[in-house]
Each structure stands twice: as structure tokens, then as C-alpha cells.
A = this chain, B = another copy of it.
Amino acid sequence: MNGAHALIRTLVDHGIDTCFMNPGTSEMHFVAALDDVPEMRGVLALFEGVATGAADGYARMSGRPAAVLLHLGPGLGNGLANLHNARRAHSPVLAIVGDHAISHRRHDAPLQSDITSAACNVSPWVWTSEDTATLGADAVEALIAAHGPPGAVATLVLPADVSWGEGGVVAPLSVEGLGTAPSPGLMPDIAVLEAAAAALRSGEPAAVLIGGRVCSGPLLEAAADLAATSGARLFAETFPARLERGVGRVPVDRLAYLAEFAAMQLDGIRHLVLLDAPSPVSFFAYPGKASDLVPEGCTVHTTVTPHDDAAQAVAALAELAGARPGAAPRQTGGRPDLPSGALTAQAVCQAVGALLPDGAIVSDEGATSTLFAPGSTSGAGPHDWLTLTGGAIGQGLPVALGAAVAAPDRRVVALEADGSALYTFQALWTMAREGVDVTTVIFNNRSYAVLNMELDRVGVEGAGPRARDMLDLSRPDLDFVSLASGLGVPATRADTAEGFNEALGRALATPGPSLIEAMVPPLL
């Protein structure tokens, strides 16, 4: 058994059965071994950023790592932006980077580069396997690192001769149930929990800010009950990896992207209790404005960190604070009417709110265009909302793909800005190839609208025509219907609200991927 065969068998035995890939020559033995281990599903991408983003989306929905197979340093480079987003999402991902044979390294062949230094940018665990016999065991170490907590990108560099060498050993299940029941993490210091509980019981104005694992399942409910019992405001971090929403769930507003609005949400609080969320900071710095969004005089209680056992910690805090189960209200139903008339970004969000199927997964990379989407969908059936965790645009379509692979029985809706879509548009081809149920909505406003806003916010006064031209996507106009068709995904264009309603209804009722190009004016 060669190294590649032993590696894939080890992964499957540990519950890793999906590999998003864009391989090259140095990965050919890995690819060939797919026929030796039919339980491993290979999902081909035309570009590495699609593969890494899909692994992120897969992890968010399944809680398990997918493997990603990349081709040397440049392949890792192409995948780096979406691994950055995965890092910020605390998504477990196993990045396998094929490298030249060990014997080939000293020749500095054209594709040689320093893979480790680039991997460190996104990956707290980087290891180069140097021996076929221990490759399987190295993979288990990588999986342990990936699972965390916190979930992380683990990078295993795989030299070609380690892959093709004979003497591969399938690693035994040294960590029981690694694939589905990772280590729970640490228990936070009880004194920290007691201080937070005391703050919440004090009656002083407080807010509970949830993130990460506390944005879904029983932890979300427990956090909401805790806030409701103590009269604290409840917010989710601005860009959660996965937020459960909709009818029957506890409603929670996200902290605003714009620092001015976030400051209003947090105004007057004396205690901020962080549950698996970082302390709030401005996304970017702006001249003369504070980066730290914690109000003056407010005490921050970092109660649950990404390293902690979130379930135990939240339960302990709830008990200390005397939280009453069921104290938080549940979201009641109520969808917006279908829009009519001119098509706007708001009308598109309204139509999505009216038609979103129960159990849907929304991948939101709409930038300015989806500002109204949380409001219009709050009363829809239960659904999950996936956001741009790390700010590296080009995440939305790959994450939608990966989520659909992880959850084949659910409808995925990708809400996508025109500018952002063009970073990793190749994802559509893999959607077609895999036949996944992803409905993509492109907000075509013919500009980097968010940058037109940011140009003003960073204090540029009276930006000139040459600057504005760098934010303009209308010369030439992008035609997303043609682009989607070129990648094998059926597409249609909507110019009116009625036309969009009809197209969205049809797309949601049709198996497989499709795309709707919504022609909208810039929101701002």
C-alpha cells in the first residue's frame, strides 16, 4: 500500500469522506488512490479558492472537516483567502498541500517555494510528512488539530515521494470518534464565570454577545434565556460562521458592520459578556474614530473563548446567573409580501423573505445589497445564515457549494454581490457538476458599492473621477447570465420585482443549481 492509499484510508476511517480538490502532477498518486478507497468522495474545482471555501462551508454545516487537496505553494496561495475566512470561522479544515518529492527539493525546480511560511498565515498547525510509514499517523495529528477547539485549518504538506512510496500504514482509531465527537475543550476559570453572572444579576445595563458555537443549537437558546432572564441585550457577532434563525428559534440581532450603528446598539451598557465571540472592534480603522467599540466604562467579561468547552461553560454560567430555561421569546412567523414594481436590492431581499424554503441555508455575501435581508427573512421558516467571517471576498459561492455538499437535503440560497462573485465564480461549474441544489442570486449594481461608501467614510472628500472609476463595474457591463451559462448553470435575468419573484419561485422549485441576475441600483 502506498502512502496516498494509506492516507485516504486513514481519513475515511476517521470520518473524513469528502475531498475538495484542484490537483496537479505532484498529487497524481493521491488522485489515483481515490479508486482504492471508494468511500472518499472527490469534488473537483477549477480554482483552489473554490475548493478551500467549499471546505469551509462544508465544515460549518457538518461540524466535520473536509480535506482539501492543493498543488504546491501556488495552489495554496490561490486557496489562501478562503482559508483565511475559514480560520476566522473556526472551521475545521484539513489542507493537504502536495509538494515536490523530497529528493527533488534541492534542485529548486520552477514550482518550488516555501509552503510552510505561506501556510502559517492561516494555519496554526503545519507539518511536512517526511516518511511514508508515518503519513497516516501524521494525518490523525492533523485532524486532532483541525477539530480543536478551536476548529482550525491544519496543513499537511505531502511530498510526492512520500505519497507514492510503498509501506503506507493506515493509522488506527487512536482518538475514538474523532470524526464526530472532538475534544470538548477547556472549562473556563470559575471566577470568570462568577464575575459575569454577578454582572448579569446586578441589574446594571448589560449585553450578551454571542459568536461561534453559541450561534446555533441548544447553546443559542441557553444564551438567549440567559440574556432574557437578566434583562441584558442580546447580540450576535457581526459575521457569524453560522447563525440559526427563523420561526421557533430565538431571534438575535447581529452587531452592525458600521461602527456608528454598533456604537448605538451597545450604548450605555456597563457589562459586556462574551460567549465565544471576540470583543467588538471596528472592521476597518477610520481617521479620528475609535477602533474599539466597547463603550467607555464598560467591563468586558470574556466568559467563553474559542478554546473552551462552550457547552459546559454556558451551562455553568446559566446556572450561576439563575437563567430560566424558556425565558427568551421565540420568533413567530410572518413573511413579507412579494414585492412589485421596480427591482431594488430591498425588493430582492423581500422576495427572498417571502419565498425562502424551510430548512434553507443562506450564504450571504451581498455586501451593501443584503443590508435588509436579515429583517425580511426573520419570520421565515427555520434556516441557517452563513456570513463572510474573515472579510476576504470571494467566499459566498464556494461556501454555498460546500454547504450543499454537506447538507444535500436542504436548499442553499447564495446572496451574492456582483464584485464579490467574480473572485471565485468558477464555483458554479462544480455546482453543476455535483448537481447541488444551490440557488444563486447576483445583485448586479455595476459597482463596488461598498467602496463608494467607504471612500466617503475614510474621509476622502470630493473623490475625483479617476478614483470613482476604480470602483466602477459598468465598463463593460458584466453579464452574469452568460457567465453562468458558460459554466453550465442555467440562469435568468430579472429587471422587475415581478420578474424576480417568478424566477426565484421557479429556481427554488427546481432541483440542481441555477442563477438569477437581479439588475438593481446601488443601495447607497
B-contacting residues of A (Cβ < 8 Å)? 21, 23-26, 28-29, 31-32, 34-35, 38, 42, 44, 46-47, 49, 73-75, 77-78, 80-81, 84-85, 88, 100-101, 103-104, 107-111, 113-114, 117-118, 120-122, 160-161, 164, 239, 278, 281-285, 287, 291-292, 389-392, 394, 419, 422-423, 425-426, 429, 432-433, 450-451, 454-455, 457-460, 463-467, 469-473, 475-488
State A81–B429 Cα separation when bound (angstroms). Answer: 22
Q: Bound complex: CA of A75 vs CA of B85, how far in Å?
A: 12
* Given A84-B73, A121-B73, A486-B481, A458 and B29 contact (CB-CB distance below 8 Å): yes
Q: Shortest beta-carbon distance, A84 to chain B, in Å?
A: 5
Asked whether A103 lies within 8 Å of B291 as measured between CB atoms, the reply is: yes
30 contacts across the A-B interface (CB closer than 8 A):
A25-B457, A28-B458, A31-B455, A31-B463, A31-B471, A32-B464, A34-B467, A35-B463, A35-B467, A42-B469, A42-B470, A44-B472, A46-B419, A73-B84, A73-B121, A74-B80, A74-B390, A77-B80, A77-B121, A80-B118, A100-B284, A104-B281, A109-B291, A109-B391, A111-B284, A111-B392, A113-B121, A160-B285, A479-B487, A484-B486
Q: In the bound complex, do residue B117 and residue A455 qualify as a contact, i.e. CB atoms below 8 Å apart?
A: no
- Closest chain-B Cβ to A399's Cβ sits at a distance in Å of 15
Bound complex: CA A101 to CA B291 (Å) = 10
| Cα separation A263 to B517 with both chains bound (whole Å) | 54
Contact among B34, B118, B426, B429 with A464 in the assembled complex (CB-CB below 8 Å): B34
CB-CB under 8 A from A464, the residues of chain B are: 32, 34-35
Which residue of B is nearest A50, CB measured? B422
In contact, B465 and A35 (Cβ under 8 angstroms): yes
CB-nearest residue of chain B to A121: B118
In whole angstroms, how far apart are the Cα atoms of A73 and B104 in the complex?
30
Residues of B within 8 A of A28 (CB): 451, 454-455, 458, 460
Given contacts A110-B389, A287-B161, A465-B35, contact A422 B282 (CB under 8 A): no
Question: Which 5 A-B residue pairs are closest in the complex by CB-CB distance?
Answer: A476-B488, A35-B464, A77-B80, A74-B392, A483-B486
> A292: which B residues are within 8 A, CB to CB?
107
Kindly list 15 other residue pairs between chains A and B, CB separation below 8 angstroms, not including A23-B470, A160-B284, A429-B478: A24-B451, A25-B454, A25-B458, A31-B470, A32-B460, A32-B467, A35-B467, A47-B394, A75-B392, A78-B78, A78-B80, A109-B291, A110-B390, A164-B458, A479-B486
User: Cα distance A466–B73 when bound, in Å?
Assistant: 25
Q: How far is the CB of A130 from chain B (nearest CB, A)?
A: 15
